[in-house]
Structure 1
Amino acid sequence: MKKLIFLSLLAVTGFAHAVPNVWQSSYAQGFSEYSIQDTKGNTLWVTCNDGAGDDYDHSVRFQTPKKSYENSDSKYPLTFLLDGKSKVAASASTKWRNGANAWYEFSQGISKAKKIDVYLNNKKVTTMTPTPNSIKSVAKHIATCNAMF
């Protein structure tokens, strides 16, 4: 009986984690949300405003089991090295020229990256290696998320 209750709680609370290194997506209230998780339970979230209104913007968030991190328009604790060659860091807002340019580089690169090194305050915290099928079927759509500029 205790096992049944525990399994029911896991299902209800969403405790079950995603399969590592597989891009996933969902859509709600005008936002497309893309996520990929590493083997340690760290998750990269990319959120695109597909129709939530002009008051909202796109976002990138990196979540560890204990804390969540995002860039602002002036501070960039999160940077990503894509395929070992392109360093990108998305701004908090895409409604200005530099933010729009940074978002373009980020969205175009992350949408096809086979290796994503995540840096927090210039220190590498994890590497994600998305499966080819999840890049082709899910991550490629991040490239269509245009800046709000």
Structure 2
Amino acid sequence: MKKTLLGFAILSMTTIANAVPNVWEKFDEKGVLVYAISDTKNTTLRVICAYAMPESYDHGVYVDIGNNQISNSLSKQPLSFLVNGSKPSTPTGVTSTVSGSVEWDKITSSFSTAKRIDVYLNNKKITTFNPIQSSMNNIKSLKNCKSRLND
């Protein structure tokens, strides 16, 4: 089973804690790109791209609500995203499978141009991000983060 980048994800939480709402930020942490956006209620969406890590590490999407970190796995997918009002996307948390690869490529492509991201936890809407246009350059490169299946 692929390792997630939980350590990097937790490390990046401290950097993002005081972020300006609805502004995409990008951090490069030793071979891992962290894309993050926060709302006014201390909820943060983070997308982790393990571009220079061994194949045993996988990319991931995390939502932080206060001190609680939520992500999807192969067996459980509590998170789903509705981007620009289109069809919902539910990344599996593993990008080395065919279905995981398809969802990863869909979510990274849609996030990189999103004007609105609705986040759902167990089919209940928990927040909406409306990225500020001037911050979109920070997330533009996310669409180049290919799934492990396509590496």
Match of 1:139 in 2: 139
- Post-superposition shift, 1:66? 3.4
2:70 maps to 1:69: yes
> Distance between the aligned counterparts of 1:130 and 1:144, measured in 2?
19
> Distance between the aligned counterparts of 1:20 and 1:144, measured in 2?
25
Match of 2:21 in 1: 20
- Post-superposition shift, 1:33? 0.5
Give deviations 1:93-115, integer Å, cap 9, x for gaps.
10111110110111111111100
> Distance between the aligned counterparts of 1:62 and 1:39, measured in 2?
14
> Distance between the aligned counterparts of 1:89 and 1:16, measured in 2?
25
> Distance between the aligned counterparts of 1:110 and 1:102, measured in 2?
12
> Distance between the aligned counterparts of 1:73 and 1:15, measured in 2?
27
Normalised by the length of structure 1, the TM-score is 0.87
**1:139 partner amino acid:** I
Normalised by the length of structure 2, the TM-score is 0.86
Match of 1:117 in 2: 118
> Distance between the aligned counterparts of 1:57 and 1:16, measured in 2?
24
Match of 2:89 in 1: 88
- Post-superposition shift, 1:15? 8.9
Structure 1 runs of 4+ aligned residues shifted over 2 Å read 13-16
- Post-superposition shift, 1:140? 1.2
Larger radius of gyration: 1
Q: Is the 8 A contact 2:16 2:36 kept in 1?
A: no
> Distance between the aligned counterparts of 1:86 and 1:127, measured in 2?
16
> Distance between the aligned counterparts of 2:103 and 2:46, measured in 1?
17
> Distance between the aligned counterparts of 1:28 and 1:133, measured in 2?
23
Q: CA RMSD in A?
A: 1.5
- Post-superposition shift, 1:27? 0.6
Identity level (%): 38
**1:62 partner amino acid:** V
Give deviations 1:73-132, integer Å, cap 9, x for gaps.
122100000011131111111011111011011111111110000000000000000011
Unaligned runs of 5+ in 2: 1-13
Q: How many residues align?
A: 136
Match of 1:5 in 2: none
Give deviations 1:120-148, integer Å, cap 9, x for gaps.
0000000000011111x111111111001
> Distance between the aligned counterparts of 2:98 and 2:69, measured in 1?
26
Match of 1:7 in 2: none
Match of 1:49 in 2: 50
Please give the secondary structure, in 2, of the residue aligned with 1:141.
helix
